[in-house]
Amino acid sequence: MNLRRWLTPGIGVKRWLLVVFLGLLLLALAFAHLLRQIGSGLEPGGLPGTFIDLVTLQFLPYPLRGLIVGVIGVGLLAVGGYRAMRSMTDPLRTSDADQPLVEVIYQKRFLARGPRIVAIGGGTGLSTLLRGLKEHTSNLTAVVTVADDGGSSGVLRTELGIPPVGDIRNCIAALADAEPLMNELLQYRFPVAEADPTTADGPGLAGHAVGNLLLAAMTAIEGGDFEEGVRRINRILAVRGQVVPVTATPLTLHARCRDGSVVDGQSHIMLTPNIERVWLTPDGVDASEDALAAIADAELIVLGPGSLFTSLLPSLLLPSIKDALLAAPAPRIYVCNVATQDGETAGFDLAAHVEALVAHTAPGLVDVVLANNRFDSRIATDGSAETVRLNWPPADMQPVPRLILDDVVNADNARHHDPARLAAAILRALEAETATRRRTVGRTA
């Protein structure tokens, strides 16, 4: 079974086996030619001549000689090839591997040919998206917001002066090859004593996630270079793709409500309704060079899903990121949330989500909007979140993005996307958008 798998398309082995086979065939022909030359110069009936006759099966009918030699050759080739593969791959196979090495190699070869996708956002939505997309491509770049100021991330941000690492940790866990085990390790939080009900505000390690501490430690090892610290963690944890912070500078998010009040800090804004405008401080922050390069080279850019004001917009509000998105040749798809969020998007329908996104960025930033059209999923009883209503198109918006409706919701939880369904819908949208652009270019030409 494994031998046949080594010969499947995409593994990159058959071509080199063919080269080896041709080399052996030429050697065999040369050896046969040598035997013929030697045999022709020997006297009939002599001992050397008799030995050569036996080796070349001259005592058998001519067709039978070829059949016997061919069967022996195929058997030796199969046994030798199988044993050679085992000898080369056994030292590379870990004792607890769930998959044969050939499956791992085939998967990596297949994923390496996948589309170059950049996903921008943060929170649970981005990590859900990455879990689905990593099964289709390893050319993934997650550009993650750094505006969080609560929990363990907020404490490390205050004490060490580094950008918040919680969303970055979630994305690294989602893209790690050994995701179940790695996710369990990175997400583990040190328990908080019962006498101290706060999270990540107690003494020592209480409330901190292992992944947050690991990112903080690697940043310190790299002399305070946060971006390089994240790059090192990507390599150490064998991330499928790369996770990059949108900037190496900690950002503070501010919001103005419709009643004129101002709320500071992401952890407070996410619970605030009737948001009119959000902005960042400090001004003039430089975006990550890795993020800008990935956007320029992308075949597809995905915005969201995730909390609109507190996870997605903080990255898009950086002028250099917004300019890079507008200049990028790749289609830009906004994945709308499947449910409203208590506080910041309470009462928002599909059009309201898109209107808020475009109002904070620029017209034409979004080419395609992907929204859910399945509404029979189980709805959680806690909270007041509701399914996003499909009101379309947005009022007074030009140009209007193309709308794609698909079944992307988690059947067991109407508040979240299903990773596999969402990834499949995004790839279908990419194919459709690519075909549309080709037709447009053809008509223009």
The tens digit of pLDDT for each residue in 145-195 reads 999 998 899 999 999 999 999 999 999 999 987 657 778 888 899 987 654
- The residue ranking higher by pLDDT, 245 or 76, is 245
- The residue ranking higher by pLDDT, 347 or 384, is 347
Query: Quick check: is 422 in a domain?
Result: yes
| 101-105, 172-176, 259-263, 290-294, range with the lowest pLDDT | 101-105
- The residue ranking higher by pLDDT, 347 or 61, is 347
Asked if residue 90 and residue 132 are part of one domain, the reply reads: no
Number of other residues whose CB lies within 10 A of the CB of residue 186: 23
Q: Is 207 left (phi over 0), alpha (psi -120 to 50) or beta?
A: left
Please identify, among 73, 96, 119, the residue that sits at the C-terminal boundary of a domain: 96
Query: Quick check: is 127 in a domain?
Result: yes
- 302 with 333: CB under 8 angstroms? yes
| 11-20, 23-32, 205-214, range with the lowest pLDDT | 11-20
Output phi, psi for 263, to 5 deg: -120, 135
Please say if the pLDDT value at position 333 is more than 50.
yes
The tens digit of pLDDT for each residue in 287-332 reads 999 999 999 999 999 999 999 999 999 999 999 999 999 999 999 9
CATH code, domain carrying 147: 3.40.50.10680
pLDDT at position 174, please? 93
The pTM assigned to this predicted structure is 0.81
Instruction: State percent of the chain over pLDDT 90.
Output: 58
Which residues, including other chains, have CB under 8 Å from residue 142's CB and lie 6 or more apart? Answer: 119, 126, 130, 171, 175, 241, 242, 243, 244
Query: Quick check: is 347 in a domain?
Result: yes
Please identify, among 71, 96, 121, the residue that sits at the C-terminal boundary of a domain: 96
Asked if residue 218 and residue 247 are part of one domain, the reply reads: yes
pLDDT at position 178, please? 67
Asked if residue 114 and residue 87 are part of one domain, the reply reads: no
- 369 with 354: CB under 8 angstroms? yes
Please say if the pLDDT value at position 59 is more than 80.
no
CA distances from 221 to 113, 265, 359 (A): 34, 29, 41
Asked if residue 299 and residue 153 are part of one domain, the reply reads: yes
238 pLDDT tier (thresholds 50, 70, 90): confident
Rounded distance, CA 351 to CA 345, Å? 12
Residue type, 218: M
Asked if residue 115 and residue 19 are part of one domain, the reply reads: no
> What domain range includes position 60?
2-96
Tell me what the mean pLDDT of segment 29-53 comes to: 66
pLDDT at position 5, please? 62
Query: Quick check: is 184 in a domain?
Result: yes
Rounded distance, CA 12 to CA 99, Å? 19
Query: Quick check: is 101 in a domain?
Result: no
Which residues, including other chains, have CB under 8 Å from residue 81's CB and lie 6 or more apart? Answer: 3, 17
Rounded distance, CA 165 to CA 213, Å? 9
Query: Quick check: is 200 in a domain?
Result: yes
Please identify, among 74, 96, 118, the residue that sits at the C-terminal boundary of a domain: 96
280 pLDDT tier (thresholds 50, 70, 90): very high
Tell me what the mean pLDDT of segment 350-371 comes to: 96
Query: Quick check: is 103 in a domain?
Result: no
The residues pairing with 409 across neighbouring beta strands, listed in sequence order, are: 417
Please say if the pLDDT value at position 95 is more than 50.
no
Please say if the pLDDT value at position 27 is more than 90.
no
Asked if residue 297 and residue 331 are part of one domain, the reply reads: yes
The tens digit of pLDDT for each residue in 110-130 reads 888 899 999 999 989 999 999
Strand 140-144 vs strand 262-264: parallel, antiparallel, or unpaired?
A: unpaired
Token duo for residue 433: 């958008």
**3-state DSSP of the chain:** CHHHHHCCCCCCCHHHHHHHHHHHHHHHHHHHHHHHHHHHCCCCCCHHHHHHHHHCCCCCCHHHHHHHHHHHHHHHHHHHHHHHHHHHHHHHCCCCCCCCHHHHHHHHHHHHCCCCEEEEECHHHHHHHHHHHCCCCCCEEEEECCCCCCHHHHHHHHHHCCCCCHHHHHHHHHHECCHHHHHHHHCCECCCCCCCCCCCCCCCCCCCEHHHHHHHHHHHHCCCCHHHHHHHHHHHCCECCEEEECCCCCCEEEEEECCCCEEECHHHHCCCCCEEEEEEECCCCCCCHHHHHHHHHCCEEEECCCCHHHHHHHHHCCHHHHHHHHHCCCCEEEECCCECCCCCCCCCCHHHHHHHHHHHCCCCCCCEEEEECCCCCCCCCCCCCCECCCCCCCCCCCCCCEEEEECCEECCEEEEECHHHHHHHHHHHHHHHHHHHHHHHHHHC
The residues pairing with 403 across neighbouring beta strands, listed in sequence order, are: 369
Asked if residue 120 and residue 72 are part of one domain, the reply reads: no
Rounded distance, CA 263 to CA 269, Å? 6
Please say if the pLDDT value at position 43 is more than 60.
no
- 162 with 148: CB under 8 angstroms? no
| 66-70, 268-272, 274-278, 305-309, range with the lowest pLDDT | 66-70
Query: Quick check: is 102 in a domain?
Result: no
Mean pLDDT of the chain: 86
Which is nearest to 215 in space by CA: 163, 275, 175?
A: 163
Asked if residue 337 and residue 431 are part of one domain, the reply reads: yes
pLDDT at position 75, please? 85
Domain count of the chain?
A: 2
Asked if residue 129 and residue 86 are part of one domain, the reply reads: no
Asked if residue 288 and residue 262 are part of one domain, the reply reads: yes
Asked if residue 284 and residue 331 are part of one domain, the reply reads: yes
Rounded distance, CA 304 to CA 154, Å? 23
Asked if residue 125 and residue 91 are part of one domain, the reply reads: no
Token duo for residue 273: 């309704």
